[in-house]
Amino acid sequence: MKAIILKIDKFSTRDGPGIRTVVCLKGCFLRCRWCHSPESWSFGIQKYPNGEIVGIKMSAEEVMAEVLKDRDFYEASGGGMTLSGGDPLARPAFSLELLRMAKAQGLHTAVETSGYAKPAEIDALLPFVDIWLWDVKKLDAKKHFEYTLRPLEPILENLGRVNSQILKDKESNRHIVLRCPMIPGLNDTNSDLMAIARLADSMKAVSGIDIEPYIPYGIQKAHRLGLKVYEAPQPPPEYGRRILARLSPLTSKPVRLP
Amino acid sequence: MYLLFIARQGENKMYISRRDFIKQSAVAAVASGVATGAFAEETAFDPKNYEALRRQLRAYYPDECHGEVKDPLQKQSYEKIKAQMYAWAKANPDYDALDARQASYKAIAEHYVPFLFEESPFYFESGVNGGWGGNRPARLVKKLCYHFYKDKSLVPDEAFATLRNRTAGRFLLCCGPFVDEIHHVPPIRVVLEKGFGGIRNEVAQAIEKCPKNDEFGRRELETALLGLDTIREIQLSFAKEAKRRLAAGNLTPQARRNFARIADSAQRCPWEPPKTFYEGLNTLWFIREVLGYVDGLSIFSLGRPDAWLIDLYKADIAAGRLTKAEAADLVARFLITADEHHDKNIPVNSYDDHEMEIPITLGGCDRAGKPLYNELTRLFFDAHLQTDCVFPKLHCRISKDSPQEYLSKIGDMLMKGHAVFALFSDDLHIRLFVKDGYPIEEAREYIGGGCWDGHIDSVMDSDVANYISVVRILELSIYRDPKVEEAAKVQIESFDEAASFEEVHKILYGNFIRFFRNVISQYTRYGRQFAKIAPNPVYTMCLKGGIESRRDTTDGGVPARPRFITLGFLGNVVDSLLAINSVCFEKKICTLKEFLAAVRSNWAGERGQQLRAAAMAAPYWGDGSDASCGEMAWWIRNIYDDIDGFETDQGCKYCLAIYIYREFMYWGNKTRATPDGRRDGDRLAQGFSPSEYRCKEGVTTVLNSIASLPHDCLRASNANLTFDKSAMSADTFAAVFRVYAKKCGHLLQPNCNSVEELIDAQKHPERHQNIIVKVCGFSARFVSLSKRWQDEVIARHRLM
């Protein structure tokens, strides 16, 4: 089985515990306005105007061979493999194949996703995922659609589904981390934060909330590919701290900031 | 070539907002049993308590590390010794080097001037500035005997001229004529066990047993005896001086305590073995300085205090002779003494501005192989960090089995901007020492040398600073220069007409290996002649086999004296070959002639830039590809095969090593463009670090590349790696160190800062006084580096 891979990031320390290899699959169903990697939206191989190729076709075996090169680092740090994208759930069969292979090798696994997928596809992945890094973009359904061009409801249903499935297995260390991109003026009102806090508190399998202040890395890449994304300057470092200070009192779950 | 899609620098930053997993990582690692997540309680040090000591040391030691101590008495002492030596030489024109050494020992004993610091409890200071400069009476022997090279036809003038031309021509660097006469391993354990007096007794017995027909051996022993007696005189002079100062009065309570202690201890130690932790610490300094003073050596380490003094420390504590606070104070003063050997605030720009070669080795394992991380290790770490020391360098031995707290502690200090570490892999070093025939218990005692080489003290002598530039041969193969070739006696064949990559490869390797063999043969032929210029009898008797052989260590008397031949800039050569193969033979983007023309034009014009881009798209060292790892391994294996079995002039092994000192900057400035895409004057690749103009891989890929190499063919190597602070934590460092020890090279020298912080430090140095960076073999305050060195360190940080 083959898929288009956007990139494989080695020595990632920000996408799950320990030292990890992040496999970014190309293709995503959402079109988040603030996306920092619009080159990952398309499922196909693309070309920047300067001829630089975006994406490469790889088999699951090839990807796994690359991932396994860093096995020693995973073992020494408690790390492993993280699937990201695009959205790995947009390539459910390939993701399942990779996760199966990773688990067969005894690797710790994480999946970073928007959560937009068919329930059956989520069910298939569940036994092979240690940590779900679940993006929470906007909890107002109407605005969610406006900002991402996809509905919120199936995403929340899937989140509930993962939560309840994880809780069924009392021995499991599996958990969910909510990852919240914070875009000034778009999703950082008090009601946005209260909704995030309520969501986190309502799900026992959610272990914490990560705040991800907006970074404008997508703008230039979007221009080069003839796409449009939200354009704003990077907020100052205090912005993230302020969000942290506002959100932390609203929830019983730990809130973290870069 | 999907690797090209991996971990591009700019794109990596898309993850910058996710670093919260640093903390989560630590939590998860604790849960999984990988990490402890906590340190034992730190010992607190207040730098203010040591300001007076620092002032006194600063008033004594030179500002520049190759300067002379400021005390006029030391200079007068040197002048007296010099006058006596020259008068003696004039009166005894038929002298040889051993005669001169004897005369030197006598003059030193007569005119030695001890120096004590009121704020220091230690006695050792001989005014030789730690071995890297200053007037050293013992080197007068070399001055008086140097003409023997010519007069006794020891080395032909032509060989000297070739050596000079090769050095000036950037082909090689040797710390002495045909032998590294400077760097030496301290004989610490033998003195801790026997004292210098014990060694003297053994030498005296050996004289009695010396066969009558071995006149030369007898003279070596007798000279050593005289030298050891001189050491005793020096030691006793400290006791005398301390008593004089006490009697003179007008002392602070601290000074009275220190001098009373010295007046007592210097009566017996280290003539007798140290009996207390304090005497043990003093002995480490004393050995280093006194051997520099009497034999002219540069002893490059203060040993393993946490391994070798822990029993004295425990016994003192148990007997109530020492409190933990007193021990901490001694450790701080011990470290600060190294830190103030020169002024660290003067700008680092020229060759030796900040090199003091004063490391201590910490951690590792004990003789039984049990991981070693004890109260003293922690004390040295805490004192070094909190009293803001740059020196001594901390050579920390790491292993896949090292305690998590030990590795995390190093990581934690790095995160705090305290990059003073060279990390030696126990797993590899101990295995290689055993392979070379040393008993495993001895192998486990090894220490780090001045910068990057491992040695077993009291057993081995060293001969390590013999660098050869591989890239210089490549440069000359492209830019032919008959004058230089003639002067440096190198035979070069051009590869412009080569019809295949294999032919290019063969010609270049041929050029190199002819030069390499010639250098080795010159060293083998002439290195031992140094014995007739400046023998080291006292030092010889401290090393295993010296007394039995009755031959000086310079004359093959110590069986364990491997000679390292160190290859520089192999990364650029590997990259250049891979670029030639890719551009000219695989992709056939242009002919070899056109490509070399572009290189010679320094990539001029649009076509030049196109070809440079094509060269830089080729595989390169550090990318983890089979091509680059294979090419690097090929060079190492082949050069190793070429010297395997060769014996040095001392009857020891030749060993290969891969590291380079500051020449990556200085020689790089003069090296013209190379086929790897390097431009005229660009810096060269350091050790196993990938070339900075090519590397776009993550740290794990670089480390996996290094791990793929045949390390058994090498005895030392270095990787300077720089870590992005935002991606790191103490436990992440611990994991990297563990893997490095398990499967990578000999030595890792890490840096960890953020580019933004370093740029801010350039603009506002006053805000960033405490950032210490590893430059190459040494560390320095970032703000004291000259602009070009600061830029180089920042460039490294931009890579990862």
Structure confidence by residue, pLDDT tens digits, A183-235 = 999 999 999 999 999 999 999 999 999 999 999 999 999 999 999 999 989 99
List the CATH number of the domain containing A75: 3.20.20.70
Strands A46-47 and B772-774: unpaired
Q: What is the largest CA-CA distance in chain B?
A: 85
B614: nearest Cα among B682, B676, B671, B569: B676
**A73/B20 CB distance under 8 A:** no
Q: Residue A125: which domain range?
A: 2-256
Q: Which chain B residues are Cβ-neighbours of A220 within 8 angstroms?
A: none
Structure confidence by residue, pLDDT tens digits, B416-428 = 999 999 999 999 9
Looking at the partner chain, which of B13, B24, B735 has a beta carbon nearest the beta carbon of A19? B735
Query: Residue range B101-128: average pLDDT?
Result: 95
Judge whether residue B34 has pLDDT over 80. no
- Predicted ipTM? 0.93
Structure confidence by residue, pLDDT tens digits, B261-298 = 999 999 999 999 999 999 999 999 999 999 999 999 88
**A15/B29 CB distance under 8 A:** no
The reported pLDDT for the residue numbered B6 is 31
pLDDT above 90: percentage of residues in chain B: 79
Q: Where are the beta strands (DSSP E) in B474-629?
A: 563-568
Q: Which chain B residues are Cβ-neighbours of A78 within 8 angstroms?
A: 25, 28-29, 31-32, 34-35, 735
Taking the C-alpha atoms of residue B597 and residue B592, their distance in angstroms, rounded to an integer, is: 8
Judge whether residue B582 has pLDDT over 60. yes
Look at the block and give the residue holding tokens 């928007």.
A114
Looking at the partner chain, which of A10, A17, A181 has a beta carbon nearest the beta carbon of B698? A10
pLDDT band at residue B724 under the 50/70/90 scheme? confident
**Residue among B14, B704, B723 with most chain A CBs within 10 A, to mutate:** B14
Q: How many helices (H) and strands (E) in chain A?
A: 9, 11
Report DSSP state, residue B581. Answer: I
Neighbours of B2 (CB within 10 A): 15
Taking the C-alpha atoms of residue A48 and residue A216, their distance in angstroms, rounded to an integer, is: 19
**A9/B16 CB distance under 8 A:** no
Q: Which two tokens stand for residue A39?
A: 């080159």
Average pLDDT, chain A: 96
Looking at the partner chain, which of A5, A78, A215 has a beta carbon nearest the beta carbon of B28? A78
Beta-carbon contacts of residue A243 (< 8 Å; ≥ 6 apart): A182, A188, A193, A211, A213, A257
Which carries the bigger pLDDT value, residue A133 or residue B66? A133
Query: Residue range B34-63: average pLDDT?
Result: 85
Structure confidence by residue, pLDDT tens digits, B515-539 = 999 999 999 999 999 999 999 999 9
pLDDT band at residue B694 under the 50/70/90 scheme? low
Q: Where are the beta strands (DSSP E) in B282-338?
A: 298-299
B397: nearest Cα among B418, B416, B357, B369: B369
The reported pLDDT for the residue numbered B478 is 98
The reported pLDDT for the residue numbered B777 is 84
Q: Which chain A residues are Cβ-neighbours of B13 within 8 angstroms?
A: 215, 217
Q: How many CA atoms within 13 Å lie on the side-chain side of B172?
A: 31
Structure confidence by residue, pLDDT tens digits, B620-635 = 999 999 999 999 999 9
Q: Which chain B residues are Cβ-neighbours of A10 within 8 angstroms?
A: 6-7, 697-701
pLDDT band at residue B29 under the 50/70/90 scheme? very low
Query: Residue range B30-35: average pLDDT?
Result: 44
The reported pLDDT for the residue numbered B26 is 40
**Of the segments A172-176, B531-535, B682-686, which one has the largest average pLDDT value?**
B531-535
**B700/A56 CB distance under 8 A:** no
Contact status, residue B455 vs residue B447, Cβ threshold 8 Å: yes
Count: domains in chain A: 1
Query: Residue range B196-218: average pLDDT?
Result: 97
Shortest Cα distance from A127 to chain B (angstroms)? 19
Q: Which chain A residues are Cβ-neighbours of B20 within 8 angstroms?
A: 14, 210-211, 256-258
The reported pLDDT for the residue numbered B695 is 61
| Phi, psi for A118 (deg, rounded to 5) | -75, 140
B313: nearest Cα among B192, B449, B444: B192
For B584-591, which contacts have Cβ atoms below 8 Å and span 24 or more sequence positions?
B584/B501, B585/B500, B585/B501, B587/B614, B589/B614, B590/B614
Looking at the partner chain, which of A56, A70, A256 has a beta carbon nearest the beta carbon of B20? A256
Structure confidence by residue, pLDDT tens digits, B450-497 = 888 999 999 999 999 899 999 999 999 999 999 999 999 999 999 999
Shortest Cα distance from A78 to chain B (angstroms)? 5
Shortest Cα distance from A108 to chain B (angstroms)? 11
**A69/B734 CB distance under 8 A:** no
Judge whether residue B13 has pLDDT over 60. no
Contact status, residue B543 vs residue B583, Cβ threshold 8 Å: no
Shortest Cα distance from B703 to chain A (angstroms)? 10
Shortest Cα distance from B35 to chain A (angstroms)? 8
pLDDT band at residue B773 under the 50/70/90 scheme? very high
Q: Which two tokens stand for residue B393?
A: 């360098």
Taking the C-alpha atoms of residue A257 and residue B305, their distance in angstroms, rounded to an integer, is: 41
pLDDT band at residue B135 under the 50/70/90 scheme? confident
Looking at the partner chain, which of B23, B697, B732 has a beta carbon nearest the beta carbon of A77? B732
**A7/B734 CB distance under 8 A:** no
Judge whether residue A20 has pLDDT over 70. yes
Which carries the bigger pLDDT value, residue B36 or residue B775? B775
Q: Which chain B residues are Cβ-neighbours of A58 within 8 angstroms?
A: 2
Inter-chain contacts counted by CB atoms under 8 A, chains A and B: 146
B704: nearest Cα among B629, B797, B617: B629
Looking at the partner chain, which of A72, A78, A173 has a beta carbon nearest the beta carbon of B743? A72
Query: Residue range B177-200: average pLDDT?
Result: 95
Name the residue of chain A whose CA is nearest to B623's CA: A10
